[in-house]
Structure 1
Amino acid sequence: MDQPGFDVHADIPGTTIFDGTQAMKGYALNKMCYGFNRAENREGFLADEEGWMEKYGLNEGQKQAIRDRNILTMIEQGGNIYYLAKLAGIFKLSVQDVGGMQTGRTTEEFKEYLQSKA
């Protein structure tokens, strides 16, 4: 429920808002990542990343973000972080690695930040 005076679509510097437009933009990417719940799909992706991306119809921006292992660009390309978490795992990226990327910190800096808030 929206609060009076609160614009849910306000720009938040450095943040990509995942809304209906982003969901449509990232449909193919998110569908592919959802499939990574199955081990055979993760293995298939690792065996032929390009073929797997083509199979799901990813656009060139999404493909390049995956080639670059750039989670932030994947989010900008419509990726939902909950689905991208599976892909990050395939790339051997931890939640702390992704948190560091999202906050402009190294993984170690992000871990220290989290510990300072505990």
Structure 2
Amino acid sequence: MLPTGVPDYLSDFEDIPGTRIFTASRARKGYHLNQFAMSLMKAENRARFKADERAYLDEWPMSEEQKLALLARDYNTLLDLGGNVYFLAKVFSTDGISFAEAVSTMTDMTFPQYQEMMLKGGRPAAGNRSIKGGY
């Protein structure tokens, strides 16, 4: 589904399986989500978040859907809701997991399977270029 306000030429990128382009529309939608994530750069904010995640999230003017996705660590949904993976990395770090481990949760693979795939060169291009084109 193409986010509102995305120019037609960007719609081709929405057709790549597993790819979410961080558009201006998503940036606007995820502004407060990404600001929350950046707040985790400060130790005192990480401590407050870890002590009571929901209470800390409720201090931010995010949608309930964004808050629930954060609590569930549903990173694909967070990307759809305007999260930027580089900002969300602050959440990964707060949870004490590596970027690669967090990204593996966005796939249908275990972390060891994801590591093996990446060490072998990443996703094969076949079947991962276009949904409608069948490539």
The bucket for the TM-score relative to the shorter chain is 0.7 to 0.9
Structure-2 residue corresponding to 1:4: none
Gaps of 5+ in 1: 1-6
TM-score of the two chains, using structure 2 as the length reference: 0.75
Higher-helix-fraction structure: 1
SS in 1 for 2:62: coil
Q: For residues 28-107 of structure 1, what are the structure 2 equivalents within 5 Å?
A: 28-107=32-111
How far apart are the structure 1 equivalents of 2:47 and 2:78? Answer: 20
Distance 2:36 2:19 in 1: 23
The residue type paired with residue 55 of structure 1 is: E
**1:74 Cα deviation after fit:** 1.1
2:132 paired residue number: none
Moved more, 63-72 or 77-86: 63-72
Q: Is the 8 A contact 1:71 1:88 kept in 2?
A: no
TM-score normalised over the length of structure 1: 0.84
Corresponding residue for 2:118?
Answer: 114
Residue 117 of structure 1: SS of its match in structure 2?
A: coil
Which deviates more from structure 2 when the two are superposed, residues 31-40 or residues 101-110?
101-110
d(CA) in 2 for partners of 1:39, 1:99: 23
